[in-house]
């Protein structure tokens, strides 16, 4: 019966009376005609002659299971430490964010305090400028009113003189005719 490396049955193949040697390094035939691999016999893994001859699924799973369990514990501890570090970083980021917001609020407060005197100076300058402009407008209006009154008086004088001249011209012609 042929078996694979884990002791499972393989398909039955007709034996033609000659044994084929596997062409690989380390494979030798013993004097009994069995394969010898580094002084170990190839045998049916499900039922080895000596416990050092082969490893079966049960033994392999037992040892691998223990290794996997210890590895899983190490990774769980590692994951827990990573989670703790991430939580610490989140907390430090949150505290940094709060500190930054407090600093931003303080900076804005200081900016407003600096702007207040500037605003009061600007208001004073604006008041002075408005007063000066209003005075200039009043002077211009008075000057305009004065010139308008002067123009009206000159215009009325011209109109009066023109009317008198017109009357003299027309009345004078009538009286001579």
Q: CA-to-CA distance for 124 and 141, rounded, in angstroms? A: 25
pLDDT in tens, 22-55: 545 666 666 776 666 665 555 666 666 666 666 6
pTM: 0.32
Predicted confidence band at 123 (pLDDT cuts at 50, 70, 90)?
confident
Give me the percent of the chain exceeding a pLDDT of 70.
62
pLDDT of residue 10: 53
pLDDT of residue 79: 85
- Asked if pLDDT for residue 135 goes beyond 60, the answer is yes
What average pLDDT does this structure show over 138-160? Answer: 84
- Whether residue 12 contacts residue 1, with contact meaning beta carbons closer than 8 Å, is answered with yes
Q: Average model confidence (pLDDT) for the chain?
A: 75
CB atoms within 10 A of CB 54: 20
19-28 as b/e: b if 16+ CB within 10 A:
eeeeeeeeee
2 three-state secondary structure:
coil
pLDDT of residue 174: 58
């Amino acid at each position: 019966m042929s078996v694979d490396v884990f002791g499972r049955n393989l398909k039955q193949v007709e034996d033609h009376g000659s044994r084929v040697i596997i062409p690989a390094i380390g494979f030798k035939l013993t004097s009994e005609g069995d394969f010898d691999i580094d002084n170990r016999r190839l045998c049916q893994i499900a039922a080895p002659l000596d416990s050092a001859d082969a490893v079966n699924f049960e033994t392999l799973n037992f040892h691998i299971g223990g290794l996997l369990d210890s590895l899983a514990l190490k990774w769980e501890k590692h994951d827990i430490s990573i989670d703790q570090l991430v939580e610490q970083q989140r907390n430090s980021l949150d505290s940094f964010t709060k500190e930054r917001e407090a600093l931003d609020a303080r900076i804005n407060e200081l900016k407003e305090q600096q702007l207040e005197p500037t605003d009061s100076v600007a208001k004073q300058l604006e008041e002075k400028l408005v007063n000066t402009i209003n005075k200039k407008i009043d002077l211009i209006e008075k000057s305009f009113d004065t010139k308008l009154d002067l123009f009206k008086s000159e215009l009325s004088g011209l109109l009066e003189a023109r009317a008198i001249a017109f009357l003299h011209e027309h009345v004078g012609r009538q009286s001579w005719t």
